[in-house]
A = this chain, B = another copy of it.
Amino acid sequence: MKIEDVLKSTVPMDNSKKIILNVLYTQNVITENFNEILKPHEISGEQYNVLRILRGQKGNPANMWAIQERMLAKTSNTTRLVDKLLLKELVTRKVCPENRRKIEVLITPKGLDVLEELDPKVIAHEQYFSKNLNSEEIDQLNHLLEKYRNQ
Contact = CB atoms under 8 A, between A and B. Distances in A.
Interface stretch (A16-24, A87-95, A101-109): A16-24
A68 to B, nearest CB: 11
Given A14-B126, A70-B8, A132-B150, A141 B26 contact: no
A6 to B, nearest CB: 8
B129 A133 contact: no
Interface residues of A, number: 57
A20 B148 contact: no
A149 B32 CA distance: 12
A60 interface: no
Interface in A1-28: 1-3, 7-11, 14-28
